[in-house]
Amino acid sequence: MRRAVLAVAAAVSFTVLVGCTSVSGGTPGPATTTGGSGTPTEASEPTSTGNAPAITGPELDLGKVSGPCDLLKADQLAARGVTKPGAKEADPAGPTCQWEPDDVVRGTSIGVTIMSKANGLDDMYANRAQFPVFEPTEVAGYPAVNGDITDAKHGACSTAVLVAKGEAFLVQIVVNDRNAPAYSTPCSESSAVAATVVGNLKG
């Protein structure tokens, strides 16, 4: 359990670095939405966000949900061993929902943050040197980053996904069971959860 506690601390520190950062040449502004319909809108051209890769597909509207606890559905969580309601928490990067597994020893904890206090992925790219693990990737066709503040595969990983200009969400997972295959590849788990969130935003 001590290992799991350390992993949680690492994941929290990840969002502290993201949420308490300003990008040189400007200050992060409030997140914008793509419309009130809740449907993806086609970008007329690739959306440039400065440091982070551009979005080349349809932008998604994080404003379509009332909060981060609505980004994952009950049946999707149940499939991952989570049946208890999520708990809303304050986070330096933005509003967060935290779900704890029914089996706290062998289950996986999940957190999702709407990064309203960060400038999309720009802040992360501007401070990439501070992350021993910083892996640019894609999640369901959207620019993303797998990251952590330690260089050990300790069962924790965070995946941030850019879904619209200046708008991103962050998934943090902690695999508590050291014997689980996902313990040594936690970013595959956080990326999978992030892909589920993207699917939900697409509706």
Q: Is the pLDDT of residue 155 over 80?
A: yes
Cα→Cα distances 50→24, 123, 135, Å: 11, 10, 18
Three-state SS for 159?
strand
Mean pLDDT for all residues in the chain: 79
Per-residue pLDDT for 154 more than 70? yes
Contacts of 65 (CB under 8 A, 6+ apart): 71, 201
φ, ψ of residue 59 to 5 degrees: the values are -75, 150
> How does residue 123 score in pLDDT terms, banded at 50, 70 and 90?
confident
Name the residue with higher pLDDT: 17 or 113. Answer: 113
Domain limits for position 160: 2-202
Residue 17: predicted pLDDT: 54
**Assigned token pair, 20:** 């308490």
Task: Taking residues 16-41, report their average pLDDT.
Answer: 39
pTM above the 0.85 mark? no
Tell me what pLDDT residue 29 has: 36
Residue type, 174: V
Average pLDDT over residues 75-83: 96
State the residue for tokens 């709407």.
114
**pLDDT for 44:** 38
Please count the structural domains in the chain.
1
Q: How much is the pLDDT for 153? A: 59
More confident residue, 159 or 35: 159
Residue 126: the pLDDT is 87
Closest CA to 159 of 122, 112, 126, 202: 112
